[in-house]
């Protein structure tokens, strides 16, 4: 087993473990911290796939912007109380069974399909910023501009929603 | 550079699919079983990240850069979604003094 292979399995283990803890942790702040750990392990997976642009953007957008928003809202609402209401055990059981059955179906269909090939990276500098920037601004220019309109409308919507209503 | 690519080639594609489906279904279980709206939101983020990982793995596998551009767009949409969703959560908290999602059944009556 080479270094990158063992690194992949280690990062996969940490990712699964910390994403389980996101769901299981009682305190929402602990959930956010485990979610940040999950994002960092996924960034490691991206870098192992030589997708450096996606890895860096994952750190900047998720761990930088989205997680700060989450932490900010949790601290603003003073939610760090341990005694939040729990769902009944029946609903928890049903949820776990539902998710487990879905996972079993997916892995079963995966086993039934062809035996998998190894991930061979076709061209090495595909995930670099230079190449992805060319693709983004040549083939995907219109979606890129539409995303900016989406951001503008999301910003207007967020300000409008979170504003205190004056009567 | 050649050494890096030769070393990367050793993980089967199935393991990437398995890892992302496990994380995806952990997210689904979180959405179903938790009552705190913020934790539900974080589970949705987990599901989006699982999809991102799968898209990146397939993009590297096929040698097609479009998959990684899609990941970029998914991240942009997720950022917009989180901004609006957290604003909605703040508003729910202001009206209900709680973010328990089981209280949000007022449309039922």
Tens of pLDDT along A140-165? Answer: 999 999 999 999 999 999 888 888 77
Cα(A46)–Cα(B8) distance, rounded to whole angstroms? 11
Match domain A3-127 to its CATH number in 3.40.50.2300, 1.20.58.110, 1.10.357.10, 1.20.120.1200: 1.20.120.1200
Domain boundaries, chain A: 3-127, 128-167
Instruction: Using an 8 Å CB-CB cutoff, list chain A residues near B72.
Output: 53-54, 57, 132, 136
Is B106 among the domain residues? no
pLDDT at A110: 84
CATH of the domain at B16: 1.10.287.3510
Contact A8 B59 (CB under 8 A): no
Cα-based distances in Å from B41 to A19, A70, A147, B38, B100: 13, 9, 21, 5, 12
Which band of pLDDT confidence, cut at 50, 70 and 90, is reported for residue A82?
low
Number of domains composing chain B:
1
Query: Phi and psi at residue B107, in whole multiples of 5°?
Result: -70, -15
Indicate which of B17, B20, B58, B79 best probes the interface with A, i.e. most A CBs within 10 Å of its own CB.
Answer: B79
Q: Which of A3-12, A45-54, B23-32 has the highest mean pLDDT?
A: B23-32
In this structure, is residue B40 part of a structural domain? yes
Query: Which chain B residue's Cα is nearest to A106?
Result: B21
* Per-residue pLDDT at B47 exceeds 80: yes
The Cα A156–Cα A154 span in angstroms is 5
| Interface predicted TM-score of the whole assembly (ipTM), two decimals | 0.88
User: Which domain does B61 fall in, by range?
Assistant: 2-100
Query: What is the pLDDT, as a whole number, of residue A50?
Result: 85
Tell me the C-alpha distance between B57 and A124, whole Å: 14
pLDDT at position A26 is: 84
* Residue B36 falls inside a structural domain: yes
Q: What is the largest CA-CA distance in chain B?
A: 65
Secondary structure letter of residue B100 according to DSSP: B
Give the bridge partners for B36, in sequence order.
B100
Tell me if A119 and B102 make a contact (CB, 8 A cut-off).
Answer: no
Once rounded to an integer, what is the mean pLDDT over residues B52-56? 93
pTM of the full predicted structure?
Answer: 0.88
């Amino acid at each position: 087993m080479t270094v990158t292979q063992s690194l992949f399995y280690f990062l996969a283990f940490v990712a699964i473990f910390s994403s389980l803890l996101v769901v299981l942790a009682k305190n929402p702040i602990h959930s956010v911290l485990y979610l940040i750990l999950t994002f960092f392990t996924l960034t490691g997976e991206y870098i192992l796939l030589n997708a450096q642009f996606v890895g860096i953007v994952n750190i900047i957008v998720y761990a930088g912007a989205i997680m700060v928003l989450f932490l900010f809202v949790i601290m603003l609402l003073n939610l760090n109380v341990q005694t939040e209401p729990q769902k009944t055990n029946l609903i928890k059981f049903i949820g776990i069974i539902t998710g487990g059955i879905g996972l079993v179906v997916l892995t079963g269909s995966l086993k039934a399909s062809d035996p998998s090939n190894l991930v061979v990276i076709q061209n090495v500098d595909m995930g670099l910023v230079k190449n992805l920037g060319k693709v983004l601004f040549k083939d995907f220019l219109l979606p890129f501009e539409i995303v900016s309109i989406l951001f503008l409308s999301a910003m207007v919507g967020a300000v409008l929603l979170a504003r205190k209503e004056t009567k | 550079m050649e050494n890096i690519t030769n070393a990367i080639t050793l993980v089967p594609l199935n393991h990437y699919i398995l890892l992302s489906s496990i994380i995806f279904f952990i997210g689904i279980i979180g959405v179903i079983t938790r009552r705190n709206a913020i934790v539900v939101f974080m589970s949705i983020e987990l599901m989006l990240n699982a999809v991102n990982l799968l898209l990146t793995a397939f993009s590297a596998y096929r040698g097609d850069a479009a998959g990684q551009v899609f990941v970029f767009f998914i991240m942009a949409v997720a950022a917009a979604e989180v901004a609006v969703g957290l604003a909605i959560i703040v508003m729910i908290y202001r009206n209900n003094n709680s973010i328990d999602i089981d209280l949000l059944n007022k449309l039922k009556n």
